[in-house]
Structure 1
Amino acid sequence: MKMPNDITTATSPGTRTIRTNVKEVLLSGGTYRSLEQQQLSPVEEKFETIRRISGFILAPLGFLFMMFVPSGMEPTQQKVAAVLVAVILLWLCESLPIPITALLGVGLMVLIGTAPASDVLAPFGSTTIFTFIGAFILAQAMLKHGVAQRLAYFVLGLPGIGNSTVRIILAFGGITCVLSAFVSNTATVAMLLPTALGILTVIAKLMQDKGIVKEDFDPLRLRVGAALMLMLAYGASIGGLLTPVGAPPNLIGRGLIEEATGVRISFGQWVMTALPICLCMLLALAVILFLVNKPETRRIEGVAEYVAEHKKQQGKMSRAEINTIIAFSITVFLWIFPAILGMFVGTDSAIYEAVDERLNEGIVAVLGAVLLFILPVEPRKLQYTLDWSDAAKIDWGTIILFGCGMIFGAMLGDSGLAESIGSGLNNMLGVSSALVITAMAVLLAILISETTSNTAAAAVTVPIVVPLAMAAGVDPVIPAMAATFGASFGFMLPISTPQNAIVYGSGCVSIARMIRTGISFDIIGGALIIFFLPTVATLVGIG
């Protein structure tokens, strides 16, 4: 099966071999690829065909079952549950493009009367949507002008890194964790994605040249690519736990805990509690990634010579590259500045609150993108760093996907379905100890965050956990903090977190591979929170 970006080369008299254009395939992205756009063996193609067709049968059956079988839920909750079941089944089967399935779910919400259209569509105005748009445009500039490729060669040229696929992936995990502790997880992944794709492009081309893969291989199906992309996404989620400002659920959970219990968790207490958990999770992630997505090769000889040759070909930085770095640097600085300021003046000060409100993450991303259309390359010819045709190439499917996911999260909370789920689990499992409540809190937060935004998971779970703990005579601080940590999970689906959606949009991670890796990490990460958090938090004076 010939792919759209294949090129044909002669190998011997009378024969021609299709050689994949690695750069074109990897850097073109893709939230969804049809069977014709993939290279599959006959067995794989048969399985994929059955899987995708089955969604058209399972989704309607799941919808009808949840809609009409008596469940004890209120009518609105039952309608929301029916739509979510149908959407999740279609996502798992990939019967329709992932973003189109999300849009279908939104349309069904309105058609069956869960809420008025204006209420259902309101989350599309979220600042996160604008963060996506701005960050994606910045990433597009990095790709167009070769900044990402230049960074890729720089990283590959570092001593001891570039000749090992394992060390490359581990290095990305460490960098992502540190950055996402202060910069939003979404922004961290968005700004590192072009570099990761550039490195993957080099690795894939080397594997092709060295005969490690076939001439006509599909670079989007490489295990090393999946491991690199998932390390980027999951590493950001881990790093986001490290500080109170690392992710929105942290701020939401900490605020709800203080409001409900009067206990304030300081910046230092949060970091000291999260640090050992994050280190253990990063180690567990590395083990899981390399077991589930074992790279095709651990070492690639000749990387140093290859990198040196291509760095020489790149020459000096162009005006467009410099402009891109200026816009990118300003954006990153403005993303980080409120967190840095908060460390010195406190997050409760009037100065911090004023700066944080004005330097909104989404607004900063959009303004950074606008700079690319202002900074000139050739002023006399009115040529700027980007034009609109470049911006139109960003992955709008991922933006639609996450916007719809935010809608599903809002409907879960507004309909009361999330609270009903929590109450049902309480009645089914019973509540008798702090350990049981903490385990239930983590489980509930992870389950909700898998199908909705992590922000919604924290906003819904923490208010459920606090009264449950109080009713059982248990200090609610630890269970509520555990729920906050669990809300930043959601590693199984593209819709679970923005960073999952971003790396899924690269086309390098199939939904099946994300589920296989994510479910393992959900289980191990959840266990680390349940058993480590109470001990560590007590040692630092929380609870």
Structure 2
Amino acid sequence: MNDARNEPVEGTEAQASQDSVFDRRRRLIGAVSGPVCALLVWFTPIEALSPEAHKLLAIMTLVCLWWICEPVPIPVTSLVGPTLCVLLDVVKMKEAFAAFANPTIFLFMGGFIIAKGMMVNGIDKRIAYGIMSMKWVGDNPRRIFLAIGLACMLCSGWISNTATAAMMFPIAIGLLDAIKDMMATKGKIINLATYKYATGLMLMTAYACSIGGVFTPIGTPPNIIMLGFLNEMCDIHIGFFQWMVWGFVAMVIYFVIAYLILSRMFPADVKHIEGANEFIGTKIKELGKWTRAQKNTMFAFLVAVVLWVTPGFLNIAFGSDSEILKVYNRVLPEGAVAMVGALLLFFLPVDLKHNKMTITWKQAVGGVEWGTLLLFGGGLAMGGMMYTTGLSGWIGEQIVNGMGGKPSELLLVAVFCVMSLLLSELTSHTAATNMIGPLAIGAALSAGFSPVPVAVGVALSASLGFMLPVSTPPNAIVYASGYVPITKMIKSGVYIDFIGIICVTIPVALFIVKMVMGIL
């Protein structure tokens, strides 16, 4: 007999073929429409804009369309924008590319290297299997469902969402195989491709990875991008600890919503999964005892985390104007702390005789998502130039006027949250944040509001891409299993997306952020 898992593969390949046709058409449309629309903007008189802002608007039109349609790789487009700005005399070379050396870039780079160290040395698996092996989990399918989600969520707060999904995917598959084997011994043959619980477990694996990313600034690119825009455009610095406070609130409530919806839509039809404990126990035994490399990695990680959160506690203890806090932030900014944690991995020895350290340069280079760093730098560059040329202010005024001239802060935040969500469903959430971020901040400033709530709202909304396989890599990973019908992903994703925005994103952006900013 053929394995049931092989049955959906043909459908998956057919879907992939259709997606490739769609992608080719999308790229072709973008390759043509991008330059055409940019030229139309270039030759359209806009008296309210300075010549530099007008040129930048044309360049931004090209960049945004290419970010969405991807006729060339997204990181390449991120370099096209600043380069055109220099060639067309919008700004000087130094100003155009200064954002690529922004300290936030090094915060992200250090985070990537620490995360890679955790992956290559097996810390991520120890965390995941440790959660799965807790006594309260046992072989209860509902608790296993919850434990898989918790493991994905907690890991993805510090490790790439994609890497977390790739790590947890085979664990979920193994548990589903245990269910299938158990049912077979009872004379019941199930097809995992149509089994409700299998669909739910796959979706929980994907969604929890995206939800966990909102916890820390380095959890997912939209967080760090919006913090960069606030710093670049408004000279507002949001600390690591500050973000973690409202990120934790959002993460927990998002997770509860996802768990309740998925567990009701895709319930288990058994009370116990025979073989689940043995499966997890075998995996833990395979890990063996803690190695020197794992201990070193955990030490470096904890050093970084402690140094990141210390300013928050100093703020609470001594106040925001205290000299000790100012000195600390000057000597140990977040970017430098990230590099301290990353560099420790190269200095903590595993085997001095053979000059073996905790991580190799080759491993570290492979862990850094250079394309994401380029996209981030390009987005910061374009956003900074939009601010200095006055373009973001002009666009913000048009948006505010379109809302009646004096919109409420609630309406402003809600509009940009929905825009960010919808665009993130159709293209890279990193590119979507780069496009929406400067507009949202510009509109908030034009309306006389603090830009922090809308910036946080945009970042959180960009992480809620749950409806389509193309929305996030975790979605694509579980969809490729063949256990997730596209209609089920869309239906569950719609529920979680819009309940999340209404019940979590907007309240967190408007109320929790202001409360935390007031306290800290």
Match for residue 400 of structure 1 among 362, 374, 377: 374
CA distance in 1, matches of 2:113, 2:249: 36
Q: Which consecutive residues of structure 1, in runs of 5 or more, have no partner in the other structure?
A: 1-10, 20-36, 177-186, 215-221, 241-245, 258-266, 467-475, 495-499
Q: Which consecutive residues of structure 2, in runs of 5 or more, have no partner in the other structure?
A: 181-190, 195-201, 221-225, 421-429, 480-485
Measured after TM superposition, the shift of residue 286 of structure 1 is 5.8
Structure 1 counterpart SS, 2:347:
coil
Considering only aligned residues, what root-mean-square deviation do their CA atoms show, in Å?
5.1
Structure 1 counterpart SS, 2:137:
coil
CA distance in 1, matches of 2:167, 2:381: 33
| Residue 111 of structure 2 is aligned to residue 135 of structure 1 | yes
| Residue 170 of structure 2 is aligned to residue 201 of structure 1 | yes
CA distance in 2, matches of 1:58, 1:519: 33
Match for residue 69 of structure 1 among 29, 35, 44: 44
| Residue 376 of structure 2 is aligned to residue 385 of structure 1 | no
TM-score by length of 2: 0.70
Contact 1:250 1:485 in 2 (8 A): no
CA distance in 2, matches of 1:350, 1:160: 47
CA distance in 2, matches of 1:453, 1:48: 20
Once the two structures are overlaid, the 10-residue window that deviates more, 73-82 or 398-407, is 73-82
Provide the residue aligned with 1:329 in structure 2.
302
Structure 2 counterpart SS, 1:377:
strand
Q: Give CA deviations for 1:108-166 in whole Å, capped at 9, x if unaligned.
A: 23223321121011111111111121111111112212221222211222333884574
CA distance in 2, matches of 1:89, 1:197: 30
Contact 2:461 2:501 in 1 (8 A): no
Provide the residue aligned with 2:199 in structure 1.
none
Contact 1:134 1:368 in 2 (8 A): yes
Q: Give CA deviations for 1:20-51 in whole Å, capped at 9, x if unaligned.
A: xxxxxxxxxxxxxxxxx988444333333323
Please tell me the residue identity of whatever aligns with 1:70: P
Provide the residue aligned with 2:392 in structure 1.
418
CA distance in 2, matches of 1:327, 1:60: 47
CA distance in 1, matches of 2:61, 2:234: 31
CA distance in 2, matches of 1:536, 1:133: 29
Change (3 A) 1:460 1:505: farther
Please tell me the residue identity of whatever aligns with 1:327: A
Q: Give CA deviations for 1:33-71 in whole Å, capped at 9, x if unaligned.
A: xxxx98844433333332333322232233223222334
CA distance in 2, matches of 1:146, 1:413: 44
Measured after TM superposition, the shift of residue 348 of structure 1 is 1.8
Contact 1:156 1:199 in 2 (8 A): no
Change (3 A) 1:59 1:484: closer
CA distance in 2, matches of 1:55, 1:348: 50
Contact 1:172 1:232 in 2 (8 A): no
CA distance in 1, matches of 2:343, 2:514: 47
Measured after TM superposition, the shift of residue 301 of structure 1 is 5.9
| Residue 434 of structure 2 is aligned to residue 491 of structure 1 | no
Change (3 A) 1:49 1:463: closer
Measured after TM superposition, the shift of residue 355 of structure 1 is 0.9
Match for residue 229 of structure 1 among 198, 204, 209: 209
Contact 1:252 1:459 in 2 (8 A): no
Map 1:364-513; keep pairs closer than 5 Å. 364-394=337-367, 395-431=369-405, 436-440=408-412, 443=415, 450-452=432-434, 460-466=442-448, 482-483=453-454, 485-491=456-462, 508=477
Contact 2:166 2:477 in 1 (8 A): no
| Residue 138 of structure 2 is aligned to residue 156 of structure 1 | no
Measured after TM superposition, the shift of residue 88 of structure 1 is 2.6
Measured after TM superposition, the shift of residue 388 of structure 1 is 1.2
Provide the residue aligned with 2:78 in structure 1.
102
Match for residue 150 of structure 2 among 171, 191, 195: 171
Structure 2 counterpart SS, 1:110:
helix
CA distance in 1, matches of 2:355, 2:511: 62
Change (3 A) 1:40 1:188: same
Number of equivalent positions = 458
Change (3 A) 1:284 1:108: farther
| Residue 124 of structure 2 is aligned to residue 144 of structure 1 | no
Contact 1:67 1:78 in 2 (8 A): yes
Contact 2:293 2:350 in 1 (8 A): yes
Match for residue 525 of structure 1 among 477, 501, 513: 501
Provide the residue aligned with 1:48 in structure 2.
23
Provide the residue aligned with 1:351 in structure 2.
324
Change (3 A) 1:378 1:161: same
Contact 1:492 1:518 in 2 (8 A): no
CA distance in 1, matches of 2:511, 2:110: 41
Change (3 A) 1:280 1:225: closer
